[in-house]
Structure 1
Amino acid sequence: MNSEKIINFMGRRYLAVVFSAVMLAVSVGALAVKGLNFGLDFTGGTLIEMHYPETADLEAIRTQLRDQGYPSAIVANFGSDQDVVIRIQADGEKVGDQVAAVLVESYASEGEVIRKRTEYVGSQIGDEFANDGGLGMLFALAVVMVYVALRFQFKFSVGAVVALVHDVTIVLGMFALFQLDFDLTVLAAVLAVIGYSLNDTIVVFDRVRENFRVIRKAEPIEVINISLTQTLERTLMTSFTTLLVLSALFFVGGELIHNFALSLLVGIVVGTYSSIYVAANILLTMNITKEDLMQIEKEGEDQESLMP
């Protein structure tokens, strides 16, 4: 590869370390001081679905609920502009009955409003969701570390896991800093960010391993710069097309998936950054060399010798 075309990514690695350290410090500080603003799925509460005879005025419904003492109620369309789902962080059958009665009465002169369903999530179930979600995230990181260590080498697995922890911490920190609702959809988005970031990192690691075998006289920093440059176009195109879809969900997807789309938007941007400046940086910090990959190279040669 022509050296004039190689981007010196790792020449800016110390700036990247400072930038990541600042983002992580803010995120950890927000999580420690403010904590996550857990939504209905974790804290317990009531979900009510109402059907209106014509297009429902969501803002008017929010105003009515605020007047009744539910300022944090989430109101959104569900399936059609005549169906409305309401989430309130207060559990009990009386809450559902009171809210439904207020909405039915306020619309009585214009048509019949029908309550289609009411669901309750107890605080104990919410605690189980939180514990299971946290354990699921830790299990995912552990499996990633084992997988990358087996496929590549231990230093690669450390780089991959550090990058994933970096991404997850920043996404969670953003939700804590701005006190956005953290529910099961956001938890699912965080796990999706882990998968996306890992995929991006694996692509980079594959090229790094390949170039360590092919480019025999280059220093590790040169090999990594070449590898990142070669995968940059693929990384940017994948991120760009994914961001287009998520932007559509964020702006027109409705209130129920607003935070889901937001967490993925932030996660994709941070994940793309970490694949370049965190995972690869860890490899240099741990002094990755060609000798670290010698065993993997021999296995590849053995496989090639078996081919006809």
Structure 2
Amino acid sequence: MNIIGRKKIWFAFSSLIIIAGLVMMMISGLNYGIDFTGGTVMEINLHKDVPNKEIRLITDSVDPNISINKIGEGKETVQIKTKKDMDNKARTELFNQFKEKYSLVEDDLVKAEQIGPSIGNEIRNKAVISVAIATVGMLIYISFRFEFSYGVAAVLALVHDVLVVLSFYAIFKIPVNSPFIAGMLTVVGYSINDTIVIFDRIRENMKTMKGKDFAGLADGSIKQTIVRSLNTSLTTLVAITALYVVGVESIKDFTLPLIAGIATGTYSSIFIASPIWVILKEKKIS
């Protein structure tokens, strides 16, 4: 196993993804959802579970990118979210199409309102602050429990994870809503685990593998922990992917960044954090 020796390949691969994402963000920005941009929310009781494809036959005339979510025990109520500011007349016209097709009454329009972006801005600002505080806290904690080079390597791997997931969303124009923020905060806490496991093994091996260079220590430690890291991440991904497949729209908004983040975190723990630690240690020695 020569992961450290091929570090330029891993760094180049990650750099390509991040640069592509940053370019897309500069050109067209992230695809912010209604939580951040404001728009219109409608909830209509259809009295039965209607397939999304059938609902979109009506809503596509308003917005092809409209968000559809089923709520209620029998998923009989459909929640429609669009970034378009629909006035009362437009909302009434849309509801009348549902009313005619499904023989509804006026009371079946449970909610119809416009929302502003101020809440989204507040969530976004608090999320950035939360990530910054968590990152600094992890740097202090890991530096205290291990040493500063471990802390720097772990934090840079975390920054890598956040940038890769953001790039994934930017490249594929996936809507970013408040569940995405919750998912990313979860990823920041989760993805540090595999890195700590590898670093802990490196620290133990430094006592028993004296005479080995830092690259050899890191490669040996990764080899000893890689099965555990992959198995842990794989079992977690299977469970979260199942939730994504069978879950409603709001669950998918939360689980998709978790899937992307856990996969990226596992990759960065092995191929990014450890090589960075080796570079830092070698520079300190030289």
Taking structure 1 as the reference length, the TM-score comes to 0.83
Q: Tell me if structure 2 keeps the 8 A contact 1:159–1:279.
A: yes
1:290 Cα deviation after fit = 11
1:159 to 153, 158, 177: 153
Residue equivalent to 2:95: 100
Partner Cα separation in structure 2 for residue 168 and residue 180 of structure 1: 15
Q: For residues 111-190 of structure 1, what are the structure 2 equivalents within 5 Å? A: 114-118=108-112, 120-190=114-184
Q: Tell me if structure 2 keeps the 8 A contact 1:31–1:172.
A: no
1:127 Cα deviation after fit = 2.0
SS at match of 2:274: helix
Letter in structure 2 aligned against 1:217:
G
SS at match of 2:75: strand
Residue equivalent to 1:297: none
Superimposed CA distance per residue, residues 162-220 of structure 1 (whole angstroms, 9 cap, x where no aligned partner): 10111110100111111110001111111122112111111111111111122222221
Q: Tell me if structure 2 keeps the 8 A contact 1:190–1:263.
A: yes
Equivalenced residues, count: 283
- Flag structure 2 segments of 5+ consecutive residues without an equivalent: none
More moved, 245-254 vs 192-201: 245-254
Partner Cα separation in structure 1 for residue 97 and residue 107 of structure 2: 10
Partner Cα separation in structure 2 for residue 165 and residue 177 of structure 1: 18
Q: Tell me if structure 2 keeps the 8 A contact 1:47–1:120.
A: yes
Question: Aligned in 2, Cα 1:102/1:279: closer, same or farther, shift over 3 Å?
Answer: same
More moved, 122-131 vs 239-248: 122-131
Q: Tell me if structure 2 keeps the 8 A contact 1:155–1:288.
A: no
Q: Tell me if structure 1 keeps the 8 A contact 2:45–2:110.
A: yes
Letter in structure 2 aligned against 1:74:
S
Structure 1 consecutive aligned stretches of length 4 or more whose deviation exceeds 4 Å: 95-98, 110-113, 288-291
Superimposed CA distance per residue, residues 232-269 of structure 1 (whole angstroms, 9 cap, x where no aligned partner): 11101101101111221222223333343222222111
Select the structure of larger CA radius of gyration: 1
Residue equivalent to 1:20: 14
1:74 to 60, 67, 75: 67
Partner Cα separation in structure 2 for residue 115 and residue 82 of structure 1: 12
Q: In the alignment, does 2:228 pair up with 1:216? A: no
Q: Tell me if structure 2 keeps the 8 A contact 1:70–1:88.
A: yes
1:59 to 46, 50, 53: 53
Question: Aligned in 2, Cα 1:217/1:57: closer, same or farther, shift over 3 Å?
Answer: closer
Partner Cα separation in structure 1 for residue 77 and residue 282 of structure 2: 57
**Matched residues, percent identical?**
34
Question: Aligned in 2, Cα 1:70/1:98: closer, same or farther, shift over 3 Å?
Answer: same
Letter in structure 2 aligned against 1:76:
N
Q: Tell me if structure 1 keeps the 8 A contact 2:154–2:195.
A: yes
Structural RMSD (CA): 2.4
Letter in structure 1 aligned against 2:228:
R
